[in-house]
Amino acid sequence: MDLTGEPDGEPQKVGVAWIDILTGLYGVIGIQAALAERERSGHGQHVDLSLFDFGVSALANQGMNFLAGGLVPHRMGNAHPNIVPYQVFPAADGTIIIACGNDRQFASVCTVLGLGAIAGDPTYATNPARGGNRKTLEGIISEKTRLRTKQDLFFALEGAGVPGGAINTVKEAIADSQVSSHLNRSV
């Protein structure tokens, strides 16, 4: 929770109990490994899990930033601590996430948004430069994304090879054809 929420706000819980769910999935992996070992050697195994252990192990890059460089992570809202832009942006009809993982993808985002002039600008051309100019870049990108719909941005980014997607309400997610086609199947 200490990592979740706006920088000037209080810690926030995630909308779903992900530590509980993922610890359960790791439990299944442990059980499968124990069954495979039993099949191989005939010996049983002990599977031991704790929510705390999994939660700490799942800190991923946030934990590694601390272990490798002593950087204590802090709440950043929806922004990624190491990659820019990798966060939520406004759209004309809601919000989207742009997950721009490298400099080539950044150039593609700039092309999609009509910001080609800044792609090669030393202020933004590399991820470290973008990180140092995060707030300004967020504003420039937001000005462009808020003029387009979630769907339009999604398809344009997908076509340019940039990960991203609409941030859907639960209603929108369930109404999506990828989900609704499974719900409408007769059993």
Active site residues: 20
User: How many whole angstroms separate alpha carbon 88 and alpha carbon 97?
Assistant: 4
Exposure b/e, 127-153, CB count within 10 A at least 16 = b: beebeeeeeebbebbeebbeebebebb
Joined together, the tokens standing for residue 28 give: 């299944």
Q: Got the DSSP string for 125-187?
A: SSHHHHHHTHHHHHHHHHHHHTTS-HHHHHHHHHHTT--EEEE--HHHHHHSHHHHHHHT---
Q: How far apart are CA 31 and CA 39, in angstroms?
A: 12
Q: How many residues does the chain have?
A: 187
d(CA 51, CA 180): 33
Distance CA 12, CA 34 (A): 36
